[in-house]
Amino acid sequence: MKKLTSKNLDPKILASDFDGTLYIDGDISSKDLRAIKDFQDLGHIFGIVTGRAYLSLKPLIKERLRPDFIIANNGAHVLVREDGILRQLAIKVIDPKKLGSFVDYYKDTYDIVVFTDKQRKLDNLDELFYEEGVLALAIYGPSELGDSFKKDFSFHRSKGVVDIVRKDINKQTGIGLIKDYYKYDGEVIAIGDDYNDIEFLKETSNSYTLDYVDNKEVLKVVRQSVESVGQLIDKLIKS
C-alpha cells in the first residue's frame, strides 16, 4: 500500500470511464489531455476505469496519457503506476469450470471473445496456454443475456457489448482496491456515461456524467453533468 502524498494539501482522486467519456469519436481531446496533466502536476491522482482490456486500452493512450492507475475489464484487472511504471495490483480470473459451462451454453448463439491474464485476445478457449487464466469474456450484440448464469458471473453491459467477469467484480470493487492502495479515506470523484459505470457512480456523492448523456439509469445516480473531463478538472482545480 502507498500513502497518498501530494504537494497539494487536499489531494483528490479522479476516476474516469474511457469510451464515451474520455475517448469520444475515436480520440481524446487535447483540452482533456492538458487538463489531466495539470491535475496530476498539482499532485492529484487520475485514473481510467474501463470495460476494455488493458491490451486494448494501451495503444490508445500510449505516449499521450499517463494515468496513475487503470481499472480494466470492469474491475477484473487493476494496475497502479509505481516509479513511472504501471504494475499489476490485482487480477481476478474466472473459475475455469464455470467458464467452460458458460461458453458451451452460448457459443452456438453468439461470437464470444476471450481476454486473458497474459494480455491476449482469443476467439475460443482452445487457444488458451497452460495455466493461462481468463479475465473476461465479451459478447457483442445482445443488450442482455438472461439470468441463467448470474449466480456465477457478473454481467456488465455497455453500448453494443456485454462483458462477463467473475462474480461480484465491477468497477467499484476496483475503486475500493485503489483507495486501499493509496490509504485514501476521502470520496473518489467519478465520471462515466454508460450502464457499466453505474456501480461506481452511485457510490460517491462526487459523481458526474457528460451533458450529452440521456441514459436514464445513469442520470438517476449522478449528481451533476459537465461538458467534458477537462471542464470537470477545471472545476475541481478552482474549488
Provide the grid cell at 211.
451533458
Pairing of strands 134-140, 153-158: unpaired
The whole-number pLDDT of residue 29 equals 97
Rounded Cα–Cα distance for residues 99 and 164 (Å)? 10
The whole-number pLDDT of residue 1 equals 55
Q: Which residues pair with 17 in a beta bridge?
A: 49
The whole-number pLDDT of residue 2 equals 64
Provide the grid cell at 61.
493512450
The whole-number pLDDT of residue 3 equals 56
The whole-number pLDDT of residue 174 equals 97
Whole-model pTM: value is 0.94
How does pLDDT run along the chain (239 residues), one tens digit per residue? 565 655 555 789 999 999 999 999 999 999 999 999 999 999 999 999 999 999 999 999 998 999 999 999 999 999 999 999 999 999 999 999 899 999 999 888 888 999 999 999 999 899 999 899 999 999 987 777 877 898 999 999 888 889 999 999 999 999 999 999 999 999 999 999 999 999 999 999 899 999 999 999 999 999 999 999 999 999 999 87
Exposed (0-12), middle (13-18) or buried (19+): which is 237, by Cβ within 10 Å? Answer: middle
